[in-house]
Structure 1
Amino acid sequence: MQASADFDTSEALTERQQAVLDAALRLLVEDGDNLTMTAVARRASCSKETLYKWFGDRDGLLTATVQWQASKVRVVPVDGKGLDLASLTASLERFAADWLKVISSDTSIALNRVAVGHAGSGKDDLGAIVLENGRFALARRLKPVLEAGRQAGLLDFSDAETAFRTFFGLVARDVQIRLLLGDRLGLTAAAIGGDAVRATQQFLALYGAKTGPQAPRAG
């Protein structure tokens, strides 16, 4: 089974279900490819029957696990009618910082390593699950912010997907592949915050409208 629904996992799941998914993530870090429903049930102190009832099967559990991890990347909603440059910038910076924090965590690194290892192997659909409920879901959540920026005259682009991919690339750079290959980048909170600001400013330099509403000057 491959679930592809895009929803706010943090709101849809109970605290008990969230604890189960956290247990699954810890097992992925420890055991990688050997994740089983039995192991998750044992670690989370619940029955396999409960897991099957909640998540359907192993792919369903993996899907919910990826969605739970991706839900930690917050997209600050914006009001298209009253949107200004300061609010748009803050929303983009928050997204960038959250995404860098999530992908640099041990759990995301372990999850992505397993997904890459399974890609094209026929073992399961984990690679497709990670794409659909990770990168693609994040695009669906951020594009409305980009569209709101365009409607407010703050951004100028012809295709939201292209604009999203540009922003995503500016945020990610080579960080994710280096982490997957074992490089220790030392991504402190301060470094992540600085990278988020830099990526956002570079994106606005590329896609910011040349004329239009400007953020109020301080003082």
Structure 2
Amino acid sequence: MTPPTLTISDDTLTGRQKDVLDAALGLLVDGGDGLTMTGVARRASCSKETLYKWFGDRDGLLTATVQWQASKVRMVPVDRETLDKRTLGIALEKFGRDWLTVLTGDISVALNRLAVSHAGQEKRNLGAIVLENGPIGMARRCEPLLEAGKEAGLLDFDDADQAFRTFFGLVVRDTQIRMLLGEQRRPSEEKIAGQARRAREQFFALYGA
């Protein structure tokens, strides 16, 4: 069954749909590969028919679940006509801070560990879904901001994708791999804020016009 096209964000979902996706995230964390439409319906106290109507099939539900988790990283809206360095810096730093906060949370760590275990396995799609809606999806959301900075004469780069990859590295550093490999201590809000601030400063040092 082909899932319906659904843009997953806080604004487009009903409260009931958010509850269902949170239930799916909980099952992924608790049971890993055991996620089924029946299990989600039971935990969320809804019918399987409702799940199929909203998400199409298990892969559609998985995709929506990953998109819902990724949507917790917010983009700060900017006015391209009046964009200046301060506004661009605030937007990039906020994006980086949100990204690190979500990435180092228990749900994202468990989800990414499970996705890594699926990578390259033909009949297990979570790895591809997380790749498409995680780092690739983040690039799609962030690159327009980088392009706006370039158009405003604030940034100088030849390839927006390469610029984003640099920003990704500056924000995440080795934090994600350490969490995936079992580091138990989650970074504090202060540490996350400092890391995002340094990433913004270093990014401007590399790409500032």
TM-score when normalising by structure 2: 0.95
Q: Separation in 2 of the partners of 1:126 and 1:4?
A: 18
Following superposition, the deviation at residue 77 of structure 1 comes to 1.9
Name 1:23's counterpart in structure 2.
Answer: 23
The gaps in structure 2 that reach 5 residues or longer are none
Q: Which residue of 2 aligns with 1:49?
A: 49
**Amino acid of the residue matched to residue 11 of structure 1?**
D
Number of residue pairs aligned between Structure 1 and Structure 2? 209
2:166 matches 1:160: no
Partner of 1:138: 138
Match of 2:78 in 1: 78
What CA distance in whole angstroms lies between the structure 2 residues aligned with 1:6 and 1:20?
A: 15
* Structure-1 residue corresponding to 2:121: 121
The answer to whether the 8 Å contact 1:170/1:199 transfers is: yes
Q: Conserved in 2, the CA contact under 8 Å of 1:3 and 1:63?
A: no
CA distance in structure 1 between the partners assigned to 2:83 and 2:164 by the alignment:
19
Aligned alpha-carbon RMSD (Å): 1.7
> How far is the alpha carbon of 1:199 from its aligned partner?
0.6
- Deviation, 1:126, is 1.1
Give the distance between the partners of 2:166 and 2:4, measured in 1 at CA.
24
Gaps of 5+ in 1: 210-219
Structure 2 partner of 1:103: 103
C-alpha distance 2-112 of structure 1, shift in aligned 2 (>3 A): farther
Describe the SS at the equivalent of 2:133: helix
Flag as ranges the 4+ runs of structure 1 deviating above 6 A.
1-6
TM-score (norm 1): 0.91
| TM superposition shift of 1:6 | 8.3
Secondary structure at the aligned position of 2:122 is classed as coil
* 1:201/1:64 CA distance change after superposition, 3 Å: same
* Structure with greater contact order relative to length (CA < 8 Å, sep ≥ 6): 1
For 1:45 and 1:81, the matched residues in 2 are separated by 47
Q: Distance in 2 between matches of 1:3 and 1:133?
A: 16
The equivalent residue for 1:11 is 11
Taking a change above 3 Å as real, the CA distance of residues 158 and 169 of structure 1, as seen in their structure-2 partners, is same
